[in-house]
Structure formats: C-alpha cells, structure tokens
Structure 1
Amino acid sequence: MKTAIQALIMASSFCQRIKRERVESHPLLKGDRSPVTIADYGSQAIINKLMKERFPNDPIVAEEDAEELKKAENLEILNQVTHYVNEFIPRVSSKEICSWIDWSTSSVKKRFWTLDPIDGTKGFLRGDQYAIALALIEEGEVQIGLLACPNLYVDKDQPDGKKGCLFFAMVGNGAFQMDMESGEKKSLSVSRIESPEGAIFTESVEPDHADHLIHKKVAKRLNVLSPPILMDSQAKYGIVARGEATVYIRVPSPSDPHYREKIWDHAAGALIAKEAGGKVTDILGRPLDFSCGLRLEKNRGILVTNGVLHETILKALENLVII
C-alpha cells in the first residue's frame, strides 16, 4: 500500500503541475474519440515505473499505451511529456518513458493491478474533478483500491476549502481518506440516511456517459428532494464513501445501451465504497465481476449506495430499464 500511495501522490503532483502551467492545448484523440493528454501519459509512466520496481512480477492493466505518442507527428507532445516527467524522475529519455507506459498489458491474470492514469480526462481538461485510480485484483476480486482526487475538496462541509485527497481501502480493513498535503488520515463511513427523500444522488457530468433521464425518473419515483451532484470520474465513489452523497447511479446511455464498463473505471472506487459500509452492484443487483477481462462483461451499469437504500433504488429502477 505504501508504494501505491507514493506513486499516486507523485502522479497527482505531476498532473497538477501540468494544469497550473496550462500545458494542455490539443489532446490526442484515441480510436473511440476520447481524449488522451500529456497528463495521462506522464501519470501512467510514473505509476508504472514505481509499481514495477516494487512488484516486478505483477502485470499492470492500464488504460493507455504509447502507440500514438511515438508517432512522428506527435513529437512535440512526447517532448513535453518527457520534460515534465524529468521534473519528477530525473535523467530519463523519451524512449524510457514510452517503455514505462507500454509496460501495461491487456492480459488479465489471477493477480494484477489495474490503472486509470486520469479517470475523467474531460473533467481534468475543464479544471473540474478527475481521479487517478489504481487497484489490485486477485482471482476476480478487488483487494486494494486507491483513488487520488487532486481537485476534490478535503472537507465535505467546505467545498471551497483545501483540495487534494486520496481515498484508499484494503479488503477487511475499512476505507480511509488522506489529505495529500498534510498526510492526515481519517476513516470513512457512508451516510446512514434511511429515507429516499433525504438521499443525495451523484452522477456523471457528461450526458453521453449515462442515461440521465432514467436517473431523473428514479429520483422522481422516490420523491428525492435534492438535485444530483454532477461530478466527473470515480471521485463519485469517494463522496459516497465519506457520506457526502447517498447514491451513485450509472444506467447505460441510450446511445450505447449494451455498453459494458471498463474494469479500471470502477475497481478502486467499488472497494472504497464497500469498505466504507456501502453496497455496490450493477443496476440489476448483481455483484461486479472483475474476472471477465478488460470489461465487466457480466454486468450492466453501476449502482452504489449507502446499503440501507440499495433495494429501494433497485425497486425504483424496475420497468425503467430495458434488459
């Protein structure tokens, strides 16, 4: 856990440095038209390097690779990645950095780490929420989960206060939040709200990431009074874990109703929410199965609650979701 925490804190500092200096201008577009940035590449390089030094035999299943970065037309971006990584790990070449990025594999073993170097890249580009997510999976079960949220306020009651927190959990040991500046840690516990009217939902900012209309219908059925917290990335798991939100719901977007979630988008957050006392399933009530490769092939959508309201939310989803 210590190495993983150190790796995420260094990657967070790297990403924040990129934002402070307004380095990002034109992110590369991957095959699925999603953006990938200097920060994505540098974050993955740093974390892969530190984790491989400590756990040389563990595969890392990460979101990015260096294929686009190594193309001649992207030399300027590669040079920027190299420049900024050298501020954190001195005297390394572009070739070495690309090799660190490409230590990632798509082959899922009995034991492996899964990494999203920037979960919520669009949020990062807007200056909103994003997360750096790392999880250890063994035999299809998440054993360790960490989420670094550099832009998330540390105190849930002071959203305009100090930012920069890291959530982490280990199976059977509870969930914790650490102030990345001071190192102060505190244990986490989900909200104990029992009435749906008092629940606070959280959902993605981007409308194409989920079916916000279905979410609204669920809230209406339950007479939920508060508007949802719109937030990018797995930071949503963090705010459920610390009792700030009660329900995180993610019904697949109608533009892609058969979409299956990627493991690195949920592994770390799911464990953190569960270890804080919450419940995590898909929208049909099935546990998340991380043994099927790079995607949650046996699951549809995501539902995270404080546990108390889980069955109530599943009931409200009935007849709204076409299977």
Structure 2
Amino acid sequence: MNDLAELLDIAWDAAEIGRRLMTTASPGRVSEKSDRDLVTELDVRIQHEIRDHLRRATPGFGFLGEEDGGGALASAGPVWVLDPIDGTSNFAHGLPLCAISLGLVDDGEAVVGVVVAPFLGLAYHAMKDGGAFVDDAPIHAGTNGDLGRAIVSLGDYDTGPDAAEGNRRRFAITRALAENVERVRMVGSAALDLVWVADGRTDACVMLSNKPWDTAAGVVIAREAGAVVTDLRGAPHTFSSGETVAVSPKLADPLRALLTSATT
C-alpha cells in the first residue's frame, strides 16, 4: 500500500470533487431507497466521479460506496469507503448539516479519513498515528469528566418495517441521556457526530448502527484526536460492531455505565 500521507492527499483531491459538486450542482431528483431513506441524483453523481478518480489514482484498491447498494466491507486489503453525501435528508431539505465522508480501511482498520462539510466551511482529516486536524489546526477530544455537563449526540432513529423494535433501545437511551446529561442533540450526519467529538464540540455520540460508509472516516479522526471509540458494551469498535460510540476519555466509563443500565 502507498504511503499514508500520499493516500491522504489522494483522499483530499477526491473530497474536493464532492465539495465542488455539492456547492455548485443541482440535487436533481430526490427518491426513496427504502422507507424514509432518501437519495438524490447528486449523491449518485458524486459517488461515481469520486470512485472513478480513486480507481485512477489507486488501481487495485477496493471501493465501497453507499449508493452502489452498500454491501460488506472486505476483511483484507485497502478499501476506499465513501458516503458521497452523509446526511442526505438534511441536504435535500436545505439544512447545512451534511458532509462528504471518505475513509480508507486496510485489513479492517480505518487508517485515513477525510470529512468535508461544505456548507459549514469545515474540513477534517486524519491518518493513523498522524493526529487529527480541522483544516491545518490540530484537534483533541474534550476533557470534561462530568456527565451532567456533557453534550451528547444521537444517531437517527430507525426507519423501515422493523423500526418499532429497533427504536425501543433508542428511546430507552434517549430517556437515560435526557435525564443525566446537559443536552441531547440529533445532528443527522454520522460523520459530523464523530468529528465533533474529535474536536471537542460535543462530548460523545451514540449511534445504534455501524454502516462502514457512515463511520470509516470519522472513526480514525476521532481516535487520532484521543476519543474512545467502542460499541455499546465498551468493546473496541470494529466494522463488525453493532453500534458506534465515540466519547471523550474521562466520560468513557460513566457513559458506558449509563448506556448499559438503559439497555439491560
């Protein structure tokens, strides 16, 4: 595999394709992939153009994108993992909380991540053992150790035919957080949930899902910023985990205890 710094440059060039299209092109037709899960024509266009760029720049690397129907993440070898517009519902409704999320996963580990939020003027990046940054400024997870002063974001509620069952745990966690933390937020973009823990804007995020295109970039950025990234039980996060929890280090134990009590 190429040098990580070189691959980060390639990821930046790819993300720039998405940024340019998101800020200049029409969203086009908006349709439903499934119950209340939207996709725009621009999602598909961005994915295709970034995929073609990456295939030229890194021949032999795998590619996994949300708008090709998703699928499993290969367990071996380098794979680019893309969400062309993370937060499509926000984007389709004119809300600025959306981002291009591009990660590189090698043998199951996220090693490069770029998250660009064009309408917020924010661009995050990290590579393994290289620290995490917003633009060129280093970022670090927060130092708050008091749950009562914590801002915690939640991933979206479930949709689809099994939503009622899937949302039981979400409602229980929402209640537990509402009764114990300073504020609960729902951003609507997993990539932003993760990078905002990384730069201390929030203290934790809790997502009861783990789609690789949602988390690949944000996980490496959060970890390189010093955040603890686990599943709901506190085991180290992998792409086979059922959930994704990122939290500032001093809150890792109390948050895990709260989540455990809410879901058992």
TM-score range, shorter chain: 0.7 to 0.9
Runs of 5+ in structure 2 lacking a partner? Answer: 1-7, 160-166
Instruction: Give the RMSD, CA atoms, in angstroms.
Output: 2.2
1:270 to 191, 196, 219: 219
2:152 maps to a residue whose letter is F
1:3-82 paired onto structure 2 within 5 Å: 3-18=10-25, 21=26, 23-24=27-28, 26-31=29-34, 34-65=37-68
The structure showing larger relative contact order (alpha-carbon pairs under 8 Å, at least 6 residues apart) is: 2
Question: Residue 242 of structure 2 aligns to which amino acid in structure 1?
Answer: R
Equivalent position SS for 2:122: strand
Task: Report the structure number with the largest CA radius of gyration.
Answer: 1
The structure carrying a bigger strand percent of its residues is 2
CA distance in 2, matches of 1:277, 1:105: 30
> How far off its partner does 1:285 sit?
0.9
Paired residue for 1:202? 153
Aligned residue pairs total: 246
Aligned to 1:99: none
Per-residue Cα deviation, 1:40-66 (whole angstroms, up to 9, x for no partner): 111112211211111011011111139
Is 1:229 equivalent to 2:179 in the alignment? no
Q: Could you tell me which residue of structure 1 aligns to residue 144 of structure 2?
A: 193
Q: Who is 1:98 aligned against? A: none
- TM-score scaled to structure 1, two decimals? 0.70
Choose from 229, 244, 247 the match for 1:302: 244
1:261 deviation in Å? Answer: 2.4
Tell me the equivalent position of 1:279: 228
Q: Which runs of 4+ in 1 moved over 4 A?
A: 104-107, 209-212
Q: For 1:63-107, what per-residue CA distance to the aligned partner results, in whole angstroms no more than 9, with x for missing partners?
A: 1139xxxxxxxxxxxxxxxxxxxxxxxxxxxxxxxxxxxxx9867
AA matched with 2:188: D
TM-score (norm 2): 0.85
Shift of 1:302: 1.9
Is the 2:150–2:202 contact (alpha carbons within 8 Å) kept by the matching residues of 1? yes
CA shift in 2, pair 1:317/1:65, >3 Å? closer
User: Partner letter of residue 115 of structure 1?
Assistant: L
Amino acid at match of 1:244: R
SS of the counterpart of 1:267?
A: helix
Tell me which protein shows more helix as a share of its residues: 2
Letter in 2 for 1:235: L
> Residues 194 and 2 of structure 1: is their aligned pair in 2 closer, same or farther, counting only changes over 3 Å?
same
Cα distance in 2 for partners of 1:168, 1:33 equals 30
Deviation string for 1:205-225 (max 9, x for gaps)? Answer: x4336654223333255x323
Q: 1:88 — aligned with what? A: none
Q: Which structure 1 segments of 5+ residues have no match?
A: 67-103, 152-162, 179-184, 253-259, 291-295
Identity between Structure 1 and Structure 2 (%): 27
Q: Given the alignment, which residue of 209, 214, 217 partners 2:175?
A: 217
3-state SS in 1 of match to 2:176? helix
